[in-house]
Structures are given as C-alpha cells and as structure tokens.
Amino acid sequence: MLTRLRGSARLLERQVGFNRLGAAVSLTIFIVAAAVLYHILRDIDPDELLDALEATDWRTLGVAGLFVAGGYLTLTFYDLFALRTIGRTELSYRVVALAGFTSYAVGHSVGASVFSGGAVRYRIYSDWGLSVIEVTKICFVAGLTFWLGNAAVLGLGVLDAPQAAHAIDQLPPWLNRVIALAILVLLGAYVAWVWVKPRVIGRAGWQLTLPGGPFTLLQIAIGILDLSCCALAMYMLVPDEPHLGFVTVAVIFVTATLLGFASHAPGGLGVFDAAMMIALWQFDKEDLLAGLLLFRLLYYVIPFALALVVLGTREALLSRTARRLAQQAATPMSAMTELAREKSDVP
C-alpha cells in the first residue's frame, strides 16, 4: 500500500506538480470565499455599518489593540526561539524584535509570508552575519512553532466546543471531537518523538536539530500565547449579543485564519472574512462586519504601516552611514571605528 501511495505521489508530482496543485487549491478557496462573501454582503446597509463603527467603544478598541500588541510581542519570541535552536544566541533582543515584528507585519499584509517575511528577515539578519541557510532555518522553526500552536489550540478548543468547528466544516460534533483527539494524539506523539533523543532533519548544510521535549513544550506555549492574544482581540470586537463563549469564537477565528493562510491572499482577505461571517451567523451582519474591519485595521494596516516606517528609517540610517564611510575612505582606521560605532546604534 505504501509503495502504491509513493508511486501515485511521484506520478502526481510529474504530471501536475505539487506547486501547481497547491496554487489551484488556493485559487479555488479564494474564488469560493469571494462568491460566498458577495452573497452575504450584497444587502449590507452602509449607513448601519457606519453606525456600528461609530458605536464601538474606544475602551474596547484600546483593549483589543493591547491584545494585538501582545500578539506581535509574542511573535518576536518565535524568532528568539528559532535563533536559540540554530545556535545563534549572540544577537540582542533589539535586533530579534526588529526582525520578528517587521517580517510578520509585512508577511501578514502582503501575503505569501514565507517569501515576503523571509526576505525582510534576511535583509536584517544578513547584516549580522547570518547566511541564507540560517535565515531559512529560522523561518522553518518559526513556522513549526506556528503550526504546533495551531494544533494545540484547535485540538483543545474543538474538543471543548465541537459545535464551533461545525459552523465551518459542517461535520457532526462527535466527528469533530474525534478529529480533535487525533490532532492531540499526533501532537503528543511528536513531543514524545523529540523527547526520546535529538532529532536531526535535512542534509549537509541544511541539517537542523529539532528542539527537544521540554523546549518543544515551550514552543507550543509560545504558539498558544500568540493565537490566544489574537483571538482575544477578535473576541473584544465581535458584538456583545448574542453572547458566545471565548472558546467558541477562538476556534472559529483560528479555523478562519488557517483558511485565509491556505488561500495565500494578503491577510487572508475575503477568505478569513467569509469564514467568520458564515460561522458567526448569529450576529447582526453590519455589527460583525464592523468588528472585522476594525480587527483588520488593528492587526494588519497599522502594524504594516509601522513596519514600513521602521524599515524605511533603518535603510535611511544605513545609507547615511555608508555615505559617511565612503567620504572617510582615505583614512581606513577612522572608517572602521566609525562603522563599529554607527552599527551599534542601528539594529
């Protein structure tokens, strides 16, 4: 059976190509979501939507913003953990925070975060001596943290509130619970696998030693904290009535986020929103849409704008330093001293 499956996979890769297959799946998700979203929003009353936006309490918006800030702070720990995993512990947290925040803020908003966020990481980390391979390893470990956190949140959340997953996948609650248990069993098996002995993946220069058992638990905790902050921000912005528990909203939020991630659309645009509108049908559409728009403002637009300002300022400082050093090229020792001083001021 395994031989047949491998043969089928190789045939599929030759005839279709997994990249094209993945692109087709992403495009299909986006088209279906766009059609569903159009059907849901075509009778939205613009005046009621504006009223809902204006009715949002500033304190509620402020608390949601704090949870978003907490989520981005947690994202910097993704990079900090990844650097520790590959043995590059000499970088200061200032550098790590800069790379972590800007890469995720850009990646979340531009889409294809593996490439867009990876490019931002490389631009920053390469100035501190990290190679393309090392930055790729950082992206891999950070991605692993994300998926382990998702597995834990979805497994525990769906186990507690299977009806929340039913709102999106339309599967009976008992089957959702079975799937949740399977996810948790696989997660536990992975933790046990890395706990027994060091696990090395990859070949040659691409080899990476996976975090051991205790550090994998820390990795999962970082992922859970990140997703919890984001889900709490969304929970603050959904309508108060009818009341839904946090776990229900969190499961729907994480599932919708994963669908948006699978579509590769910038910020999951359209896909995330359609999934949330379908699953949270109990709410008034204008009120819910107002919450989704405010969440996009807090989680995507503002961090993206801040990241562009920070990156632009950094590039301007580095460019000014380069010009100064070019002018001092006649005195090499002075140039080296100036470079060391200037570089210590720019992360």
- Burial class of 265 by CB neighbour count within 10 A (0 to 12, 13 to 18, 19+): buried
CB 144 within 8 A of CB 85: no
CB 55 within 8 A of CB 294: no
Alpha helices, H only, the chain: 2-15, 18-41, 46-55, 58-85, 93-110, 113-125, 132-160, 162-169, 173-196, 213-237, 246-263, 271-279, 285-296, 302-327, 332-345
User: CA-to-CA distance for 158 and 330, rounded, in angstroms?
Assistant: 67
Global pTM? 0.81
Q: Bridge-partner residues for 200, per DSSP?
A: 209
User: CA-to-CA distance for 341 and 347, rounded, in angstroms?
Assistant: 12
Backbone φ, ψ for residue 208 (5° rounding) = -140, 130
Over residues 49-66, the pLDDT tens digits come to: 888 888 888 999 999 999
pLDDT at 315 (0 to 100): 86
- List per-residue pLDDT tens for the chain, 347 residues long: 334 434 433 433 444 444 565 455 555 655 655 665 555 566 777 888 888 888 888 999 999 999 999 999 999 999 999 999 998 889 999 999 999 999 999 888 776 677 778 888 988 998 898 999 999 999 999 999 999 999 999 999 999 989 888 888 888 999 999 999 999 999 999 999 999 998 988 887 788 989 999 999 999 999 999 999 999 999 999 988 888 889 999 999 999 888 877 766 766 777 888 888 888 888 888 889 999 999 999 999 999 999 999 998 888 888 887 778 777 765 555 555 555 565 555 66
Sign of CA dihedral 192, 197, 203, 207: positive
**What are the C-alpha distances in Å from 216 to residues 25, 78, 222, 247?**
31, 12, 10, 24
Helix/strand/coil for 182: helix
**Conformational region of residue 276, where left means phi above 0, alpha means psi within -120 to 50, and beta covers everything else:** alpha
- Residue 57, C-beta contacts closer than 8 angstroms, at least 6 positions apart: none
How is residue 139 written in tokens? 């992206």
- Residue 237, C-beta contacts closer than 8 angstroms, at least 6 positions apart: 56, 60, 61, 64, 291, 292, 294, 295
Backbone φ, ψ for residue 269 (5° rounding) = -55, 130
Cis preceding-peptide flag for 211 (omega within 30 of 0)? no
**What is the DSSP secondary-structure string of 33-83?**
HHHHHHHHHTT--HHHHHHHHHHS-HHHHHHHHHHHHHHHHHHHHHHHHHH
User: CA-to-CA distance for 195 and 41, rounded, in angstroms?
Assistant: 49
- Residue 255, C-beta contacts closer than 8 angstroms, at least 6 positions apart: 154, 165, 168, 169, 275, 279
